A and B are shown apart, each in its own frame.
Chain A
Amino acid sequence: MASEVKAIFEPKSVVLVGASEGIGEGIASPAFFYSLVHNMRRFFKGKIHVVDLGGKLKGGVKNLNQVPKRRDLAVVVLPSKLVMKNWRYLLNLMIKAIVLVAGGFNRQQQEELARWVAKRKIRVLGPNATAGVINTSKGLCATPERDFMPPRGGVAVISQGGAVGMAILDWASFYGVSVSKFASTGDGIDVTEADLLEFLTYDKETKVICIYLESVRDGRRFLGSIREAMKRKPVIVMKGGTARDKQDRIFAASLKQVGAIRVDNVEELLGVADALAKQPPMQGDRVVVVTNAGGAATLVADALSRKGFALAKLSDKVAKKITGKYQDINIVEWVDLGIDAKDDRYKFVLEQVLSDQGVDGVVVMNELKLSFLKPVDVQAIAEVAEKKSKGKPVVSVTVAGRAGALLREAVKGKNIPVYDSPEKAVRALDALRFYWKTRARVEKGV
């Protein structure tokens, strides 16, 4: 089973099936088919076969029987009627897995598909997997959204809904959160979120798994697969449709029981995912705030207190080392580097506070306004944070929005999460702490 799911993410050869004619609007329209072909030709490193039932697309063939057999994956951008009409020919190709992008299959059609799936050794993702599949490490960009290829990284995203899935990826690129794999599951007649979770659990590229759900299918198995995944990497769950769902309290409790991290919106999802992908879990509650703007640190301290964190008190030894080198650094509730702090100061102080036994994590504030700090200085912070030498997380934050964007740009691709509000930074630490606490205990229970 796993090998067929593998064919969805890691195919060596892909058959793209669509029609340049005879289909009107909608996800199966020629425009989206062309975009899919374009994306694959541009990014994919393996073999591509294009089947255009309309016969117009250059480099494509008109009939399914012109395609060599035993390819790994077929991505089908056809309306339900044409899928059913060509289903036999598709099966005859002995393909390992099929992605059905379009939706609109009635119950009878879905049941027929499911029957075939049960009979043959094949896996089907969808139908209604409108956003398709992405694997950044293999250049697999099987999505009908033109030129949409997120930067490569450690965050995997599974989304039941295509539009929300795309929105998550869109925000991911906005926030510089880089992605390992993406799949939209749609109606899930065969491959479910649990199947993908099981695969991603052992996927070396994936450091964090994010799941967006609208409904829970086979709750027990889903939770079991989260529990298994949590032994290796964190799982973040966001669920839509909770307002209508009286059972949401049971869902919430069961997620807690298996140690999953639950978030309420896309921004929170990505903020938390970024931290979990880039920084180690947090082993305690004591946080040091290192800042170049004292006043702004107050807001971080407030946010920390609301989430049950404590401001760490530095040991005399570490405090002396810091003030011995920089006499004007003011160590109060936080470490105030002063408005003229540059990268050298940040680097030295960060290394010192991380070495303090009384510190479990660090929030670094980088205010660009009314200071001499430049975005490029933040490189030094990234360098220290990337070492993860003490197994303690470091997150960077500014209280200002535009500054947040500049800082993110400056450390793009580096392993330091950058936030544009204290609440987001503290929420990230909260998730890192939660992951540490739950990781040990998810190994027993249910």
Chain B
Amino acid sequence: MAAAKKKVTEILNSVYKDGRRELMELESKQVLAAWGVPVNRTELARDLSEAVKVAREVRYPIVLKIASPDIIHKSEAKGVKVGLSSELELRQSFGELINNARTYKPDAKILGVTIQEYLPPAREVIVGALQDPSFGPTVMFGLGGVWVEVLEDISFRLAPLSAEDAREMIQEIKGYPVLAGIRGTPPADVGALIDIIQKIGQIAHEFSEITEMDLNPIFAFDNGKGAVVADARIILVESG
């Protein structure tokens, strides 16, 4: 725990030092990984040759995302390619991604791209955290996509929370049957989600400088196969 705390503090400090409040995806995932939250393998590649090398290690298919501290909404910047299955596709996409980013935000500082492990399709959920002015660190849970955006089908609990609290907040949403398994589909790995929710609660409780966390999406695999964070965003309070 002490080591994890030290590691996270280091990352947050370096972001502040850089004059930023928003962590890049890579940094956010480093924070999560330090706390034992499972994330898909995500590596930075500064140029094409590095990308090719890293992609071989990560193994195809891969996900390619733009890496820039100035571009938080990567899809909006057309900075994401999912499921590239060969070096050829990687070579074609790399330049395109960089160009898209430059068009989207000409003055953006571009570090390169991240090469990420591709995750097979799964049920998608969202876990978030925020600092409530009255109640302090609070954790949010919901199903991905339309469930959260349109139906506002989300549940809350104060952090830190017990496993029982986390289980309740999962079962509380209207879309819960989707996770429990309907029409013969096996249940999702709720235990793995409970673990993630509790850990996010711990992080939010431990680091008051984190004002917002958004793990979206998290891939919830079938029971026994775990859950993995595919994208994450962490925002800090103004330093000082």
Measured CB to CB, the residues of A under 8 A from B are: 216, 218-220, 223, 247, 249-254, 256-257, 441, 444-446
Contact = CB atoms under 8 A, between A and B. Distances in A.
A247 B158 contact: no
Contacts of B28: none
B155 A253 contact: yes
A257 B165 contact: yes
Contacts of A250: 132, 135, 138, 156, 158
A227 B155 CA distance: 20
Nearest to A445: B162
Given A444-B162, A445-B162, A445-B165, A219 B156 contact: no
30 contacts: A216-B135, A218-B134, A219-B134, A219-B135, A220-B135, A247-B132, A247-B134, A247-B135, A249-B154, A250-B135, A250-B138, A250-B156, A250-B158, A251-B134, A251-B135, A253-B156, A253-B157, A253-B158, A253-B169, A254-B158, A257-B157, A257-B158, A257-B161, A441-B162, A441-B164, A444-B162, A444-B164, A445-B161, A445-B164, A446-B158
B160 interface: yes
Interface in B126-182: 132, 134-136, 138, 154-158, 160-162, 164-165, 168-169
Contacts of B168: 256
Contacts of A247: 132, 134-135
Contacts of B160: 446
Contact of B132 (A218, A219, A441, A445): A219
Contact of B136 (A219, A253, A257, A444): A219
B134 A216 contact: yes
Q: Is the interface of A mostly helix, strand, loop or mixed?
A: helix
A223 B135 contact: yes
Contacts, number: 52
Nearest to A252: B156
A444 B163 CA distance: 10
| Interface size band for B | 10 to 19
Given A250-B138, A253-B156, A446-B161, 10 more contacts: A219-B132, A219-B135, A220-B136, A247-B132, A247-B134, A250-B132, A254-B138, A254-B156, A444-B162, A445-B162
A223 B164 contact: no
A254 B158 CA distance: 6
A252 B138 CA distance: 12
Contacts of A223: 135, 158
B135 A254 contact: yes
Contacts of B161: 257, 445-446
List the 6 shortest-distance A-B pairs measured between CB atoms, nearest first.
Answer: A219-B134, A253-B156, A219-B135, A445-B162, A254-B158, A250-B156
A256 B135 CA distance: 14
Contacts of A252: 156
A253 B164 CA distance: 14
B66 to A, nearest CB: 33
A249 B132 CA distance: 11
A220 B131 CA distance: 12
A219 B158 CA distance: 11
Contacts of A446: 158, 160-161
With most chain A CB atoms within 10 A of its CB, the pick from B132, B134, B162, B165 is B134
With most chain A CB atoms within 10 A of its CB, the pick from B157, B164, B168, B169 is B157
Contact of B156 (A216, A220, A249): A249
A223 B137 CA distance: 13
Contacts of A445: 161-162, 164-165
With most chain B CB atoms within 10 A of its CB, the pick from A216, A223, A257 is A257
Nearest to A250: B156
A306 B197 CA distance: 31
Given A219-B132, A219-B134, A254 B157 contact: yes
With most chain A CB atoms within 10 A of its CB, the pick from B160, B161, B165 is B165
B221 to A, nearest CB: 27
A445 B160 CA distance: 7
With most chain B CB atoms within 10 A of its CB, the pick from A219, A250, A441, A444 is A250
Contacts of B164: 441, 444-445
Contacts of A249: 154, 156
A257 B212 CA distance: 21
B136 to A, nearest CB: 5
Contacts of B169: 253
A187 B138 CA distance: 27
B133 to A, nearest CB: 8
Contacts of B138: 250, 253-254
A242 to B, nearest CB: 13
A325 B121 CA distance: 66
B160 to A, nearest CB: 7
Contacts of A253: 138, 155-158, 169
A223 B160 CA distance: 13
Contacts of A216: 134-135
Contacts of B155: 253
Contacts of A444: 162, 164
Contacts of B157: 253-254, 257
Nearest to A247: B132
Contacts of B156: 249-250, 252-254
A351 to B, nearest CB: 37
